Amino acid sequence: MLVLSRKRDEEIMIGKTVKIMVVDIRGDKVRLGTQAPADLEVHRGEVWLKRLEQIAAQRHTSVDELREEFQRGELNPLFFYGPDPRNLPPGLVLSRQRDEVINIGGQVSIVVVDICGDKVRLGIEAPKELQLHRLEVFNAIERGNALTG
């Protein structure tokens, strides 16, 4: 798990298409904005777990086995939602407290590790092939690639 500290209005890039922004920090709650392609479902962790439990029961398997299939890329997120996944509005904002999770596309989990004053520490679990960067680092890499490309 990669843990990054962020302040209000600071962002994290996951791959080249998913952006997480700290919208607000108030007391023991943080509001996280997400931008992701429409085919990647974004859920509060508890909603995602409930859906996994339902599918596991239908398939007579365990939630852990389903998670492993997602991590290996053997299950397409569309399996859970049909051919027309609902389009999420850009900038979906979710409120989270310490130890609460956001799941993106069944493969990326973001947990609120700690909230301290004007900073939040976010733990990110993602497949190894996905690059995770603070937005300012991502932008510098992209500028460097444009110069050498």
Q: Quick: pLDDT tens for 83-136.
A: 333 333 445 888 999 999 998 888 889 999 999 999 999 999 988 888 899 999
Q: Taking the chain, what is the end-to-end CA distance rounded to the nearest angstrom?
A: 31
Each residue's pLDDT tens digit, 28-78: 999 998 888 877 778 777 887 788 788 888 888 888 887 777 767 666 554
* Sheet containing 18-26: order of strands: 92-97, 29-35, 18-26, 11-14, 132-134
Residue 148 pLDDT > 50, yes or no?
A: yes
Cα separation, 28 vs 14, in Å, equals 25
- Predicted TM-score (pTM) of the model is 0.74
Residue 80 pLDDT > 70, yes or no?
A: no
| Residues forming a β-bridge with 33 | 21, 93
pLDDT, position 56: 84
pLDDT, position 99: 96
Domain with 69, as residue range(s), is 2-148
pLDDT, position 149: 66
pLDDT, position 76: 54
Cα separation, 25 vs 118, in Å, equals 7
pLDDT, position 40: 78
pLDDT band at 17 (very low <50, low <70, confident <90, very high): confident
Letter for the amino acid at 148? T
pLDDT, position 81: 43
